[in-house]
Amino acid sequence: MKRIFRSLLFLLLASTLTLAQRTPPPHKKPARHASAPTRTASARPAAPNSAQAIHQSALIIDTHADTPQRFLDEHFDLAENTPVSDGHIDFGKIKQGNLGAEFFSIWVEPVFKGHYAQRTMDLIDSVYQQAARHPDKMVMAFSADDIVRAHQQHKFAALMGIEGGHAIENDIRLLRDYYRLGVRYMTLTWSNTNDWADSSGDLEDPNVKHHNGMTDFGKDVVREMNRLGMIVDVSHVSDATFYQALLVSQAPVIASHSSSRALTNHPRNMTDDMLRAVARNGGVVMVNFYSAFVDENYRKASSDPEKAKQRDAEIEAYKKAHPHADGSPVTYEETAFIEKKWSAQFPRPPLKSLIDHIDHVATVAGIDHVGLGSDFDGITSSPQGLDSVADLPKITEALVQRGYTREQIDKILGGNILRVMREVEATAKRLQSEGTEFAPLSLEDIELMLGNKVTSAHLVDLIQEHGVSFDLTPAIRARLKAANADQSVLAAIAKGKKK
Ligand SMILES: [Zn+2]
């Protein structure tokens, strides 16, 4: 299964190599200060500096929502109008909240071990399917310019970020494939430590092999992400991984959905020192809305280990009682109702708790380094009044009340992440023009492509571009001939050995 899948991926790689180099169409100036009414402007004109006017004219970008699992596992369509108890994002709520762009999370739940790449591809496909079904309302976006262009066309821009570096299955080529498919950030880990980077989620677990941060391969992943133009996301990683990633990264990083540890003492949150480090790096911290990350009282109440044990036991019991006929794993979506029920026993924190976090990051890291990473559709509790993306205007209202200016609020709502995207894109361009070496092709790579009937001409191109990692011994020559390698391919290999 996996083998076939990887072969398909490689085919895709082989046939789309030039796609990534396509230059984007020239972009026009952002329209967020234009006086033309936006798609959600109300009939009654608002005072020019009212919270409503500021919110409706802003280009609002949220960097983390887990909706793709709903697309894939529940066949949810964005055109459905869902109660907030079921879902945080649909077209109605997007319009009400004036959400301009969303980074949909490609979250690869570790229960898919052995099939991470397939799960990743299925989730990516689920986002494209939504865009294909609703071309009048939604468009796929891959760059800062794409987001601005979508906004001008009054369309919702969909981007994708992978949540959990295990999705690349320790294969840097899969990382490149995901970039080609449009993925524009990757959290180096989710709550699970992988083979090359430590997570903040299992540091206490003695059964997990940790690395004191990142392995050499992990650092290579960061370098390759810089070269591709994929944003390095430090949400979920351990503190050691965080500092090492910042040392290696040549481009600004983001924390796509993390809050402040000084205010709410959760290891998923960032210390003040980490906030200052992101500021020095030029990156941005996108504040998570989850109650247990933004409110110390909620965190303490909900971290009662006895209650957590009960919840986990209930989830396991449900999974046992409802196995899938085809043997595929029971997913988070199916048991989320248990977690929602469990969360509901703790009182929701006030909206003020979330605003305090935004304020704190803006104060410690600076106004240029803070944004919104809701984690909607992946969290089971949010502050009072903030039931879905429809309630985003309440955040702007609270910021205006605290004395934030239009210019500052524009940065928080989307300007900062847009700036970081442009810097990441520029860094990639520079690194690519400096001519970073491609990884040479292995014998197995070439056999895989021959098996998939990649044309000889294309294969010769790839060999010339990448080089090969092996010598063309008589035994290997015979083996490749048996796999239908022709003279042109064999000649390219003979000249392609990299030192
Ligand atoms: Zn997360």
Choose the weakest-confidence range: 295-304, 359-368, 410-419: 295-304
Find the 64 Cα to ligand 1 centroid distance in Å: 8
Residue 44 binned pLDDT confidence (cut-offs 50, 70, 90): low
Residue 32 binned pLDDT confidence (cut-offs 50, 70, 90): very low
Find the 224 Cα to ligand 1 centroid distance in Å: 22
pLDDT for the residue 2: 37
48 vs 292, more confident: 292
pLDDT for the residue 328: 85
Find the 174 Cα to ligand 1 centroid distance in Å: 21
Find the 103 Cα to ligand 1 centroid distance in Å: 12
Find the 284 Cα to ligand 1 centroid distance in Å: 16
pLDDT for the residue 339: 84
Find the 189 Cα to ligand 1 centroid distance in Å: 9
Find the 386 Cα to ligand 1 centroid distance in Å: 18
Choose the weakest-confidence range: 80-84, 137-141, 384-388, 400-404: 80-84
Find the 257 Cα to ligand 1 centroid distance in Å: 7
Find the 163 Cα to ligand 1 centroid distance in Å: 7
Find the 153 Cα to ligand 1 centroid distance in Å: 30
| Predicted confidence (pLDDT) at residue 5 exceeds the cutoff of 50 | no
Q: Which tens digit of pLDDT belongs to each residue from 199-236?
A: 999 999 999 999 999 999 999 999 999 999 999 999 99
> Among 248, 269, 264, which Cα is nearest to 201's?
269
Find the 268 Cα to ligand 1 centroid distance in Å: 9
Find the 187 Cα to ligand 1 centroid distance in Å: 9
Do 220 and 197 meet the contact criterion of CB atoms below 8 Å apart?
A: no
Find the 92 Cα to ligand 1 centroid distance in Å: 25
Find the 236 Cα to ligand 1 centroid distance in Å: 7
> Among 435, 264, 109, 236, which Cα is nearest to 245's?
236
Q: What is the DSSP string of 310-375?
A: HHHHHHHHHHHHS--TT-PPPPHHHHHHHHHHHHTTSPPPPHHHHHHHHHHHHHHT-GGGEEE---
Query: Cα–Cα distance between 278 and 281 in angstroms, integer?
Result: 5
Residue 438 binned pLDDT confidence (cut-offs 50, 70, 90): low
pLDDT for the residue 17: 38
pLDDT for the residue 38: 43
Find the 368 Cα to ligand 1 centroid distance in Å: 23
Residue 31 binned pLDDT confidence (cut-offs 50, 70, 90): very low
| Predicted confidence (pLDDT) at residue 97 exceeds the cutoff of 60 | yes
Task: Name the average pLDDT for the chain.
Answer: 89
What b/e sequence results for 111-149 when a residue is b if at least 16 CB atoms lie within 10 Å of its CB, and e otherwise? Answer: ebeebbbbbbbbbbebbeebbeebeebbbbbbbbbbbbb
| Predicted confidence (pLDDT) at residue 103 exceeds the cutoff of 90 | yes
Backbone angles phi, psi at 73, to 5 degrees: -85, -25
What b/e sequence results for 427-436 when a residue is b if at least 16 CB atoms lie within 10 Å of its CB, and e otherwise? Answer: bbeebeeeee
Find the 43 Cα to ligand 1 centroid distance in Å: 38
Do 385 and 351 meet the contact criterion of CB atoms below 8 Å apart?
A: yes
Choose the weakest-confidence range: 95-104, 258-267, 463-472: 463-472
pLDDT for the residue 249: 96
